Amino acid sequence: MSEGGSERFAEGAAIPPFVVENLTRTDLVRYAGASGDFNPIHHDEPFARAAGNPTVFGHGMLTAGLVAKCITDFVGAGNLRRYKVRFATRVWPGDTITCAGRVTRRYEDAGETRIDGEVTATTQRGETAVTGTFSAAVTAA
């Protein structure tokens, strides 16, 4: 990437993965406190089991937050213009979550160069936990 920007944000360009290994229950509790989402299904083991789950599972928006980091590491903090996620399957303590994506479109809008992209979070089982799309402003080099 000798010229930097233009190839980095070309259509089809890969967004470097962000990997979280061994998601812990502490991670879930930390997200519960930070977000204010205290649905006990995400931290209370007996409650989660009584609801028919093998154990507690992660907040969908925690995974969406990890995917957002993957995107902003690529486009820069403050450059997202739109971000949308769809929740597919759940993530469990001990999971390794890989966030990655690619640029799908590059265009000019509202006086800035923008890209659209698609992103996913997948587990070590190959399951898709979250799919998403985004638009961001990029600095064209």
Partner 1 sequence: MAEIDRSLLGVWGPDTTMRVEAGKIREFARAVKDPNPAYLADDGALAPPTFLMTIAHWMRDLGETRSAVKLDYRRLLHGEQEFEYVRPIRAGDVLRFRSRTRDVFEKQGRRGGTMTFIIGETEFRNQHGEVVAYMRNTAIETADAVKE
- The one-character DSSP state at 89 is S
Separation between Cα atoms, residue 4 and residue 141, nearest integer Å: 6
Short-list 5, 2, 27, 11, CA closest to 97: 27
Separation between Cα atoms, residue 70 and residue 66, nearest integer Å: 7
For partner 1, how many residues bind (rule: CB under 8 A)?
32
Using CB under 8 A as the binding rule, whether residue 92 contacts partner 1 is answered as no
Using CB under 8 A as the binding rule, whether residue 61 contacts partner 1 is answered as yes
What 3-state DSSP class applies to 81?
strand
Using CB under 8 A as the binding rule, whether residue 33 contacts partner 1 is answered as yes
Q: Which is nearer to partner 1, 110 or 126 (CB)?
A: 110
CB 114 within 8 A of CB 137: yes
Separation between Cα atoms, residue 40 and residue 32, nearest integer Å: 9
Using CB under 8 A as the binding rule, whether residue 111 contacts partner 1 is answered as no
Q: Which is nearer to partner 1, 6 or 65 (CB)?
A: 65
Q: Which is nearer to partner 1, 23 or 103 (CB)?
A: 23
Using CB under 8 A as the binding rule, whether residue 87 contacts partner 1 is answered as yes
Among 6, 53, 96, 104, binds partner 1 (CB under 8 A): 53
Short-list 58, 53, 54, CA closest to 43: 58
Q: Which is nearer to partner 1, 42 or 106 (CB)?
A: 42
Q: Which residues bind partner 1 (CB under 8 A)?
A: 20, 27, 30-31, 33-37, 52-53, 60-62, 64-66, 68-69, 71-73, 77-78, 80-87
